[in-house]
Structure formats: structure tokens, C-alpha cells
Structure 1
Amino acid sequence: MSDTAKETAPEKQQEKSITELFEELKKDLDFLPDDDAVREGYLFAYKYFLVC
């Protein structure tokens, strides 16, 4: 394998489930109020827009 092929080969990334990704996103929602209902509503809307 040449040096350029080694450089361009994609690194194996750890796959995460959707639940894990949303848990990480939930932690990064600093711009929202601390109320869990507001955060859950935001995540619900985010999922809706991703699906549609």
C-alpha cells in the first residue's frame, strides 16, 4: 500500500446508536432553559425534522 493510500484511507469510526447521539446532544443544549420538558420538546422537534 502506498503512503498516499494510507493517508486517504478512512479511519474506522465508532458507530453510535441514535439514542446515544441524542443523549450527547441533550448534554450540549446549553442555549435552552434547564426545564426538561423544554429540552424534550426541542429534541422531539429535531427528530421530526430529521425524519421528514
Structure 2
Amino acid sequence: MKRVSWPGRDELKESTIVVLVTVAVITVILFIVDKILDLGIKGIIQSLG
């Protein structure tokens, strides 16, 4: 097996920031999609009832 090459401090910071930003963006997108689906389903239920 080859030796493990650990990331340096700067690379670790950059990777951490990329992960946190990606998680935040996906969270916002899922929140928006959830609200849109919630409104759509409530609208369908209201129109049927």
C-alpha cells in the first residue's frame, strides 16, 4: 500500500468551506421544494374538499 498523504491546513480549510456551503445550498433548495410541494398538495386537497 502507498503512504497516506494527509491534506495540509489550507486544503483542509478550503474543503471544509466547500462542504459547508454545499450543505447550506442543498438545505435551502430542499426547503423551497418542500414549501412548493406543501402548497401544491394543500391546494389540491382544498379544491377536492
Which structure dedicates a bigger proportion of its chain to helix? 2
Higher relative contact order (CA 8 A, sep 6+): 1
Larger radius of gyration: 2
